[in-house]
């Protein structure tokens, strides 16, 4: 990984968040199970992990069968509220993060590019000690990323490559100058379609 990351042609690292930079699988799953359970919708950890993990909330709830937009929004907000209750299960991918810190120290740029909600990403990053571009240094003891692009920032979600291409556009980088880290099948497919090099992360 280090030799690829420090190739002088690579100027930009794009990181998926859930399952790549942070192991949030169980926290996300438990928050959804709890939110839906409160509303009387049966969902097991096993069913969510097998069928829905990696989807944007709107897509997940629609596929689950909740047709009322107001009900989907209520459940989305309730999931966000419950999510921090399960942060004791969240783990940072420390080898990847240390690599990113070294890359930034040499002038590279690092973004989080996720289908998740910005609120969820911000909450977990704060818990882990990582900041966004505007976070004061004393509030980000483990360092910062240069940007965050989340689910609502782009019209077509992964597996379309739009999210990655948009960050490349903002940073003035080509796919040849970009390296992507992803874990889910839809994220890996989006990375492939973007034309950039990519690593598959398994936590």
Superfamily of chain region 2-24+92-200: HAD superfamily/HAD-like (3.40.50.1000)
**pLDDT at residue 117, as a whole number:** 84
**Domain ranges in the chain?**
2-24+92-200, 25-88
* 8 Å CB contact between 180 and 199: yes
Rounded distance, CA 69 to CA 65, Å? 11
Q: Which residues of the chain have pLDDT under 50?
A: 1-7
pLDDT of amino acid 193: 98
What is the tally of helices (H) and strands (E) in the chain?
Answer: 9, 7
pLDDT for the residue 81: 92
Whole-number Å distance between alpha carbons of 45 and 33: 7
Predicted confidence at residue 1, as pLDDT, reads: 39
Query: Which helix (DSSP H) or strand (DSSP E) does residue 149 occupy?
Result: strand 147-149
Identify the pLDDT of residue 2. 36
- Residue 107 has a pLDDT of 96
Q: Which residues on adjacent β-strands are paired with residue 91?
A: 23
Specify the CATH architecture of the domain 25-88. Answer: Orthogonal Bundle (1.10)
Instruction: Kindly state the tokens that stand for 79.
Output: 């999931």
**Count of CA atoms in the C-beta half-sphere (13 A) of 98:** 5
CA-nearest of 182, 157, 188 to 55 is 157
- CA 76, 81, 84, 89 dihedral sign is negative
Q: Which of 70, 44, 73 lies closest to 57 in space, CA to CA?
A: 73
- To the question of pTM greater than 0.75 for the whole model, the response is yes
CA distance 143 to 133: 10
């Amino acid at each position: 990984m280090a030799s690829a990351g420090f190739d002088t042609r690579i100027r930009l690292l794009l990181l998926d968040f859930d399952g790549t930079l942070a192991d949030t699988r169980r926290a996300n799953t438990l928050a959804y199970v709890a939110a839906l359970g409160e509303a009387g919708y049966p969902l097991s950890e096993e069913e969510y992990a097998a069928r829905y993990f990696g989807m944007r909330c709107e897509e997940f709830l629609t596929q689950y069968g909740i047709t009322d937009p107001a009900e989907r929004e209520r459940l989305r907000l309730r999931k966000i509220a419950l999510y921090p209750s399960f942060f004791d299960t969240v783990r940072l991918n420390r080898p990847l993060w240390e690599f990113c810190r070294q890359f930034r120290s040499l002038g590279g740029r690092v973004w989080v590019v996720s289908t998740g909600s910005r609120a969820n990403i911000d909450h977990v990053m704060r818990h882990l000690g990582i900041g966004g571009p505007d976070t004061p240094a004393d509030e980000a003891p483990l360092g910062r990323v240069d940007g965050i692009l989340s689910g609502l920032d782009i019209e077509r979600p992964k597996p379309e490559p739009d999210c990655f291409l948009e960050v490349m556009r903002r940073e003035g980088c080509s796919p040849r100058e970009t390296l992507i880290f992803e874990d889910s099948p839809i994220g890996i497919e989006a990375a492939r379609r973007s034309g950039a090099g990519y690593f598959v992360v398994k936590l």
